[in-house]
Structure 1
Amino acid sequence: MQQPTFSGIRIRTPTDAHVIFYAVIADMLPMVAHRLDIRERRFIQSGCVFVWEERGQSSAASGIERWTDGRRWGPSRVRDEFLYYEEKLPEVNADEELSSLMYVSRLVKKTYSVYVRTRAGSRKWHLVAYYTEQTLEQLLTVDDIAELAALRLHIPEGLFTTARLTKSRTCAEHAPSDRFARVGGPPMLTLSSPDSSPSPTATVSTPPSSATTLPPLKPEPWPLPYQTSPSAAGSDCDRAPQVASYRAHAPERLAPLVYLKSTPFPPRHPFDKDALRSLDGGIA
């Protein structure tokens, strides 16, 4: 039966997670080698921490494809490079006091991922920590355990590289450019060393030459107040519009009919009124 990597502890910061990872490298703590079975899942409780390696091209013979614990979780929340998941409890008809007790006693799953530099190449490791709001302050920390606290000063710099990218870094990597457009997509990023910034591979699919060409869209009935920068098109990172001299380059366009109908007409000139009266008299 597999045991947790550590029990009775809470992970506060990425540095705490790095200490646990380094303890696994030093063979002080065990790594989870395969998925938890039904029996092992039942022993998951507040304070359990698991470290596992993701199966990849460089670790095809070992590792786990994805983490499963047999529980239902809500959507993830990101905070300080951690992902948080709150356990979904079954709906029951309970009073307010019981509902409050169930809320603080439900599990919270906290995950953190890094790329580890090893002699066999870069590996992706994950840490999964469980706790409840009710027992969080009762759990030990890395600083409370002398053997783990002593490892802080011995972790080599650059050994761990976070697998989560910051928003600005993601924007810079996925922003379109002319160089990428010419070759059909950005270059493949390798994870051979933690010195290179790891990130998921992004590809841009280009339509084949035989693809059906759609007719151009009709122009808008009125000029746009701004136009978006070409570098921001198709990117979720920078949607701030840039004011441009639209009138100098845009073709002459008529105002929409709805606008004309809602605009009051200027008063007629007296000469025009006399001319209209003479026409009315001739028709009569």
Structure 2
Amino acid sequence: MNKLFGYVQTYEEAILMVHASRLGYITPITQRLKVEERGNLRSGDIFVFVETDNGIKRWTDGKIWSPSKINGQFLLYKEVPRHLSKSAIKKRSLQKDQLVKLQKEIKEEDKLGLHKKTISIVHEDKTYHVIAYYRPIFSKETLINIPFFNRIDYSLRKYPELISDQFLMNEIKKKNFM
């Protein structure tokens, strides 16, 4: 499984993920997660995939999520435990005091439960998707604090031509790598 560990806080950090993928530092996901990989998702897991005609078009992880909320350029989701999902609650006929107890459980899950943050970024006719899982209480350490991403950020700011795929292809041709 090709994943990173950290927390994507800003749009700029998501862009760094895309450029790290483009430059070959991160290998994007090319197939859906296997059942055991879905079961092992945890706070801090970050995935990148490139949308293609014969590859992944839509991310699935087997979890139940709340409706999305927009936060800047990101979509945010909260995991809904199976026993608290709307369909599970409908199956049980609950008394009013049981509903109050369930609402307290749901609020507690919001603080401690897994969240998903997604963004789609189009660069040179390709759509890159960044998917990050986190628990709000552990979301302090951002990618820019990781030396690897700090160096990529520095390089892209110092040499903006690295952002162009055409520049990279020309450099590769000059060096006779092809």
- Give me the TM-score of the superposition, normalised by structure 1: 0.47
Q: 1:106 to 1:22 in 2, by over 3 A?
A: same
For 1:47, the equivalent position in structure 2 comes to 44
Residue 80 (structure 1) shift:
1.2
Deviations 1:88-122, CA, capped at 9 Å, x for gaps: 222286588765543312111111111122xxxx1
Secondary structure in 2 matching 1:130: strand
Tell me if 1:113 matches 2:120: yes
Residue 35 (structure 1) shift:
0.7
More helix by share: 2
Tell me if 1:13 matches 2:10: yes
For 1:228, the equivalent position in structure 2 comes to none
Which one-letter code corresponds to 1:15 in the other structure? E
Q: Distance between the aligned counterparts of 1:96 and 1:54, measured in 2?
A: 38
Structure 1 residues 191-210: aligned runs within 5 Å: none
Deviations 1:247-267, CA, capped at 9 Å, x for gaps: xxxxxxxxxxxxxxxxxxxxx
For 1:144, the equivalent position in structure 2 comes to 145
Structure 1 residues 90-239: aligned runs within 5 Å: 90-91=83-84, 100-117=107-124, 122-137=125-140, 140-155=141-156, 156=160, 159=163
Deviations 1:221-268, CA, capped at 9 Å, x for gaps: xxxxxxxxxxxxxxxxxxxxxxxxxxxxxxxxxxxxxxxxxxxxxxxx
Q: Distance between the aligned counterparts of 1:148 and 1:41, measured in 2?
A: 26
Q: Distance between the aligned counterparts of 1:100 and 1:77, measured in 2?
A: 17
Corresponding pairs, count: 146
Q: Distance between the aligned counterparts of 1:157 and 1:109, measured in 2?
A: 32
More strand by share: 2
Residue 11 (structure 1) shift:
0.8
**Bigger relative contact order, structure 1 or 2, given CA contacts below 8 A and separation 6+?**
2
Deviations 1:126-151, CA, capped at 9 Å, x for gaps: 001111122223xx322221121011
Which one-letter code corresponds to 1:3 in the other structure? N
Q: Which runs of 5+ in 2 are unaligned?
A: 90-97, 165-178
For 2:2, the equivalent position in structure 1 comes to 3
Which one-letter code corresponds to 1:81 in the other structure? Q
Contact 2:78 2:110 in 1 (8 A): no
Residue 3 (structure 1) shift:
3.4
Secondary structure in 2 matching 1:147: helix
Deviations 1:71-93, CA, capped at 9 Å, x for gaps: 11111111211111111222286
Q: 1:157 to 1:12 in 2, by over 3 A?
A: farther
For 1:254, the equivalent position in structure 2 comes to none
For 2:168, the equivalent position in structure 1 comes to none
Deviations 1:183-217, CA, capped at 9 Å, x for gaps: xxxxxxxxxxxxxxxxxxxxxxxxxxxxxxxxxxx
Residue 29 (structure 1) shift:
1.7
Secondary structure in 2 matching 1:103: helix
- Give me the TM-score of the superposition, normalised by structure 2: 0.72
Contact 1:83 1:111 in 2 (8 A): yes
Which one-letter code corresponds to 2:150 in the other structure? A
Q: Which runs of 5+ in 1 are unaligned?
A: 161-284
Contact 1:116 1:159 in 2 (8 A): no
Deviates further, 29-38 or 95-104: 95-104
For 1:80, the equivalent position in structure 2 comes to 72
Tell me if 1:27 matches 2:12: no
